[in-house]
Chains A and B, each alone.
Chain A
Amino acid sequence: MNKKTIGFLLSLAMMLGLASCGEKEVNSKLVLNEVLIENQANFQDDYGVHGAWIEVFNKSYTSADLAGYQLKMSNQAGDTATYFIPKGDVLTLVKPRQHALFWADGQPNRGTFHTNFVMDGTTATWVGLYDSGKKLVDQVTIPANTLQADQSYARVSDAADAWEVKGAAADKYVTPSTNNQTIEGNAKMEKFQSHDSAGVGMSITAMSVVFFGLILLYICFRLIGQAAISLRRRNAMEVKDIKCEEEAKEKKLGEAPGEVIAAISMAMHEMQNDVHDVEDTVLTITRVKRTYSPWSSKIYTLRELPKK
């Protein structure tokens, strides 16, 4: 491949790359997951206080750090309270698929997880989560008078798009610091147990995928092989100055017989492993005169015989 082609390919790749660049999305590993505004008999903090709380969920499968993030809340336009989540607290590192709970009690001196604002459920409440670069990561607006005491506004399940009121029905629990939808079993496994207890469906599906994958590879390498053979033949035709395709096929141009391949392989093996019959070095023996040194004298390196 010449330099022009390489340059062309690189330019093409760069142009395609630039064309596919959109606005950089903010890190959205962390999302707001559940908010409870009026806490009368629900979860209580370490001080035994029933306060409003905001739950943040790490939806990724890696840890995410909330240090430097900001929690913002507004009950009316133009009046936004901001809580800066302090750096240096190891507890702000949220483990994969885990939750962090912030108490909106206006008591930041009680610890990292107590905000400097309180929430009011009688007006619409907007809560926003901003990353350390002050970019909006997630937000939710709880309509006014939607929630009664001990009810929360939460995503249907962790990190789901839809929100609902929890605590209003028997099957919709308020779930501080835990999954919004309680996982009571392995849904996938139960599906297999109920629909495919003998495993026939799984076997057919999986074997079809295995065959499909390997058939794809087969087709691909059949085509690549044919292209390689025809390329080799064309090169051989150029070297032998043969124009007719039929003649080239007859003479089996580009197809090296087994003996030739064996001979080439042997030669390469000998070269690469330095195995050779004929030595390529010349041995010369010349007399070298060396002056005497006591350091090389045998007498001094031998132990003397013990004296009787």
Chain B
Amino acid sequence: MGEFLNFISNNLADFWTYTGFANATVGHLVMILVGLVFIYLAVAKEFEPMLLIPIGFGMLIGNIPFNMEAGLKVGIYEEGSVLNILYQGVTSGWYPPLIFLGIGAMTDFSALISNPKLMLVGAAAQFGIFGAYMIALALGFDPMQAGAIGIIGGADGPTAIFLSSKLAPNLMGAIAVSAYSYMALVPVIQPPIMRWLTTKKERVIRMQPPRAVSHTEKVMFPIVGLLLTCFLVPSGLPLLGMLFFGNLLKESGVTRRLAETARGPLIDTITILLGLTVGASTQASEFLTFDSVLIFGLGALSFIIATTSGVLFVKLFNLILPKNKKINPLIGNAGVSAVPDAARISQTVGLEYDPTNYLLMHAMGPNVAGVIGSAVAAGILLGFLM
């Protein structure tokens, strides 16, 4: 009997070593807490819930402690585990282009086509990427890592994941989480900068309503856009190719079913997988490092630089524009490619100062130009550093 009890107690002791309670570290608990904060922000504050819910829950999944020496094949970094297989879409970089396909299929470029000079605002906001790149270099990161970190300033999660998977795979988790976190926090980061950099008079500038754009122009945009940008930066092809392809599906008018699949079930599926696995990749043992903290800091800086450069560029641009064609600098922030959140912020802040001045349509121009600009910037970094 005593031997049997001994056997039972040994079994229970053995089982205990496999439980999360026995393997938990402070790091796991910290990351679980961060995951819970993400879920709270998504549910209570409605900050980018489509991203923060999968990422937040992914953080919980990725930080359930387990006996890593037991070879259970459950962790995201254990080859052959289900999570590891799903994570391959991130590591090999094929989720981001599929997300771009969906973005292309749901984006209306007519605001940009009707007022193409807004493209330059989208280009100016990319200073955020290179500002962060320079600061990262100064902090001791090597050029490839600095390029991967800098892309956070593009405010484009899929682009950040795509580029970091190529340039600095070891930093990808931190970069992805940082990019998505700050995209969700755009309503908190951008408005104070916009108010600080603009005068009351500038904030109430009324822009000319966009002209009607013909179907032919809309069909030509993805074709010409692809040819021009990809001939210039072929390394941006996976992202730009899919973005413009998705847009052609939408605008051609004859592939409605394909466009609906791309902007509906396909992008939803990939968003779920991407969000969950990126969240799960923040396993404390791999994620909680001093570099991750630095990356979070640099991410915030890059967003601030991008917003500042967008707003300041519009102010400078206004100096050479005729009086009736002035641009409201409140749409400068939309040059970062967080679509459509950044544009929505332009609208909200604009309405605070003039309840009849609707900036949303105008802000969508630089916003979608920012998507193109950040994909081009990613292509350039890839071409230069890879």
Task: List which B136-168 residues lie within 8 A (CB) of chain A.
Answer: 137-138, 142-144, 146
Give the docked Cα–Cα distance between A79 and B377 (Å): 57
Task: List which B116-139 residues lie within 8 A (CB) of chain A.
Answer: 116-117, 119-120, 122-123, 126-127, 129-131, 133-134, 137-138
Nearest-neighbour CB distance to chain B for A188, whole angstroms, equals 6
B212 interface contact, C-beta 8 A: yes
A261 interface contact, C-beta 8 A: yes
As a 0/1 sequence over residues 93 to 130 of chain B, the CB contacts with chain A under 8 angstroms (1 = contact) are: 00000000000000000001110110110110011011
Q: A198-B138, A224-B224, A228-B214 are in contact. Are A258 and B373 (CB under 8 A)?
A: no
Contacting residues, chain B, for A168 (C-beta < 8 A): none
Q: A189-B385, A203-B130 are in contact. Are A213 and B211 (CB under 8 A)?
A: no
Q: Are A214 and B217 in contact (CB under 8 A)?
A: no
Q: Are A199 and B217 in contact (CB under 8 A)?
A: no
Nearest-neighbour CB distance to chain B for A170, whole angstroms, equals 30
Q: Are B120 and A221 in contact (CB under 8 A)?
A: no
Give the docked Cα–Cα distance between A216 and B211 (Å): 21
Q: A189-B385, A198-B137, A209-B233 are in contact. Are A214 and B123 (CB under 8 A)?
A: yes
B6 interface contact, C-beta 8 A: no
A13 interface contact, C-beta 8 A: no
Nearest-neighbour CB distance to chain B for A253, whole angstroms, equals 13
Contacting residues, chain B, for A12 (C-beta < 8 A): none
A295 interface contact, C-beta 8 A: no
Give the docked Cα–Cα distance between A228 and B385 (Å): 41
A144 interface contact, C-beta 8 A: no
B380 interface contact, C-beta 8 A: yes
A193 interface contact, C-beta 8 A: yes
Give the docked Cα–Cα distance between A193 and B372 (Å): 28
Contacting residues, chain B, for A192 (C-beta < 8 A): 143, 384-385
As a 0/1 sequence over residues 205 to 230 of chain B, the CB contacts with chain A under 8 angstroms (1 = contact) are: 00001011110110011001100110
Q: Which residue of B lies closest to A188 (CB)?
A: B385
A149 interface contact, C-beta 8 A: no
Task: List which A181-204 residues lie within 8 A (CB) of chain B.
Answer: 186, 188-189, 192-193, 197-200, 202-203
As a 0/1 sequence over residues 340 to 381 of chain B, the CB contacts with chain A under 8 angstroms (1 = contact) are: 000000000000000000000000000001001100110011
CB < 8 Å neighbour of A216 from B143, B228, B380: B228
Q: Are B228 and A220 in contact (CB under 8 A)?
A: yes
Give the docked Cα–Cα distance between A5 and B220 (Å): 19
Contacting residues, chain B, for A200 (C-beta < 8 A): 134
Q: Are A221 and B224 in contact (CB under 8 A)?
A: yes
As a 0/1 sequence over residues 171 to 211 of chain B, the CB contacts with chain A under 8 angstroms (1 = contact) are: 00000000000000000000000000000000000000101
Q: Which residue of B lies closest to A232 (CB)?
A: B214
Q: Are A206 and B232 in contact (CB under 8 A)?
A: no
Contacting residues, chain A, for B129 (C-beta < 8 A): 206
Nearest-neighbour CB distance to chain B for A279, whole angstroms, equals 26
Give the docked Cα–Cα distance between A210 and B379 (Å): 10
Q: Are B384 and A224 in contact (CB under 8 A)?
A: no
B386 interface contact, C-beta 8 A: yes
Give the docked Cα–Cα distance between A214 and B120 (Å): 6
Q: Are A210 and B123 in contact (CB under 8 A)?
A: yes
Give the docked Cα–Cα distance between A168 and B144 (Å): 36
Q: Are A214 and B122 in contact (CB under 8 A)?
A: yes
Q: Are B377 and A228 in contact (CB under 8 A)?
A: no
Q: Are B376 and A218 in contact (CB under 8 A)?
A: no
Q: A199-B133, A213-B232, A214-B123 are in contact. Are A221 and B372 (CB under 8 A)?
A: no
Give the docked Cα–Cα distance between A128 and B142 (Å): 44
Contacting residues, chain A, for B144 (C-beta < 8 A): 186, 189
Q: Which residue of B lies closest to A222 (CB)?
A: B116
A229 interface contact, C-beta 8 A: yes
A256 interface contact, C-beta 8 A: yes
A215 interface contact, C-beta 8 A: yes
CB < 8 Å neighbour of A206 from B221, B224, B384: B384
A270 interface contact, C-beta 8 A: no
Q: Are A255 and B134 in contact (CB under 8 A)?
A: no
Give the docked Cα–Cα distance between A218 and B317 (Å): 15
Q: Which residue of A lies closest to B217 (CB)?
A: A228
Contacting residues, chain A, for B117 (C-beta < 8 A): 218, 222
CB < 8 Å neighbour of B217 from A188, A202, A205, A225: A225
Nearest 4 Cβ contacts at the A-B interface: A203-B130, A199-B134, A221-B116, A214-B123
> 9 A-B pairs, CB-CB below 8 angstroms?
A193-B142, A200-B134, A206-B384, A213-B376, A214-B123, A218-B116, A218-B119, A224-B220, A228-B217
**A residues bordering B, Cβ < 8 Å?**
186, 188-189, 192-193, 197-200, 202-203, 205-207, 209-218, 220-222, 224-225, 228-229, 232, 255-256, 258, 261
Query: In the complex, given contacts A186-B144, A207-B123, A215-B120, what are 5 additional A-B residue pairs having Cβ atoms less than 8 angstroms apart?
Result: A203-B130, A214-B372, A217-B225, A220-B228, A225-B211
